[in-house]
Chains A and B, each alone.
Chain A
């Protein structure tokens, strides 16, 4: 199983959720985070100089899925989150050792 951790623009979250639902993926955990990428935030120019807005609000979406659908989910997130401008975010894929449902104790498996 894989954990997909996507850091995206807050205003794209609804689009990403929609794309994931289209693929039958409903479960997720969403966190409000702040961060920056290669551009180190956004630089605003003024007559008196520049203001660097260092950390930009983002949301982090975490989803655990079977290996077989990983590529589909990555694609769905990208389609939902992309605007084509700097700051669209990143998607990380992590291995998951085990996944247990609290209510039933049932262990989910790839096969």
Chain B
């Protein structure tokens, strides 16, 4: 097949859109922490972007998309991107473009996990952890779903990474938070967000970038990409209004709640974007807003300091999205039927793929976090935490 210029142009743009989501996460999280940790929070995302970008071209891509080894991981055929060229392959775009596009997904996934480290992580230990995590958690999960691993063989559908990106990062953040422990003062006095508009701006970058994330995952500039684009926006809108309404019922309708609902809607539509129609996306987004809001309340009630709610929004939103894909997939969009069209096995395949990812991501993250904590120490000292990570880790002030 010759190179399709339309598709290639769209994928180039999509890769750039997803890149912007990585600092987007940083600014979203940065507004939510106290002022003394703002730089740290944004810096973690940029460090992840740099670190994972290198890991990806050296061996990460090969572990994810190399020849299948036991359904679990890719082999090392593409080490250092050996044999990956500029000539369009069967797909109509250069394989090198697929490498960079997928690399951005790996980066944003690790960036989401930083929620569990917020305001207390030691930078040196974080860098080691991030390298281990993206290699031992992200790369296998990407292989399971997209690289020819067992989940794709089972027929579990994950269009743009609801399981690979969101379930994995959300449940990893939960495991990290349990190992690293609560922030000093958590539950005793209020640890208020220092800059809500910054968080809203971060969310704007995420919402914008998500079009590259989901519509780009069609891997073509075609009708399927257009459908993914539309359902992505619709689900975000429904999620925003659902969370807004739920929090209004309990008190003030906060902008932060509204935008968290939008992210919840975006997360939940991610695995479904290429399989469901616009009607289903309204339901998926609205329910995502409510589920994630409930998960956040549950997290607070349990006194868990998974500080910036990656678990509630990405973990639980991703889980709902995986189930929703198995429920609402319609043959008219992409040739797959879900539960509503009588295809029970699709629902169970998706449930199996999602639950396996929950268990794998949580368990392996727990082991890695304990390992790094015992050897290097994940956490800064009490004094360093008190003066803030901006000064103690970076020697800078906002």
The answer to whether A binds B is yes
Where the two chains meet, the residues of A that have a C-beta atom closer than 8 Å to any C-beta of B are: 11-12, 14-15, 42, 44, 51, 53, 56-57
Are B383 and A42 in contact (CB-based, < 8 A)?
A: yes
> CB-CB < 8 A to B185: which residues of A?
11
Q: Which residues of A contact B392 (CB under 8 A)?
A: 44, 51, 53
The DSSP consensus for interface residues of chain B is helix
A contact patch SS? strand
- Chain A residues near B96 (CB-CB < 8 A): none
Roughly how many angstroms separate A26 CA and B361 CA in the complex, as a whole number? 51
A42-B383, A42-B386, A44-B384 known; A53+B391 contact, CB < 8 A: yes
Question: In the complex, which residues 186-218 of chain B have their Cβ closer than 8 Å to any Cβ of chain A?
Answer: 189-190
Contact with A along B159-186 (1 / 0, CB 8 A): 0000000000000000000000000010
User: Which one of B189, B190, B387 contacts A44 once the chains associate, using CB atoms below 8 Å?
Assistant: B387
Q: Which of A15, A51, A53, A56 contacts B189 (CB 8 A)?
A: A15
B70 contacts chain A at the CB level, 8 A cutoff: no
Nearest residue, chain A, Cβ from B386:
A42
**How distant is A8 from chain B, measured CB to nearest CB, in Å?**
12
B395 at the A/B interface (Cβ < 8 Å)?
yes
Q: In the complex, what's the smallest C-beta–C-beta distance from B388 to chain A, in angstroms?
A: 9
Chain B residues whose CB sits within 8 angstroms of the CB of A53 once the complex forms: 387, 391-392
**Chain B residues near A11 (CB-CB < 8 A):** 185, 189
Q: How far is the CA of A66 from the CA of B386 in the complex (A)?
A: 36
Among residues of B, the one whose C-beta sits closest to the C-beta of A9 is: B386
Q: Are A56 and B387 in touch, CB under 8 angstroms?
A: yes
Q: Which residues from A are CB-within-8-Å of B190? A: 14
Other A-B contacts than A44-B392, A56-B387, 5 sampled, CB-CB below 8 A, are: A14-B189, A15-B189, A42-B383, A42-B387, A44-B383
Q: How many angstroms from the CA of A14 to the CA of B187 in the assembled complex?
A: 13
State A44–B387 Cα separation when bound (angstroms).
10
Tell me the bound Cα distance from A44 to B389 in angstroms: 12
User: CB within 8 Å of A: which of B132-175?
Assistant: none
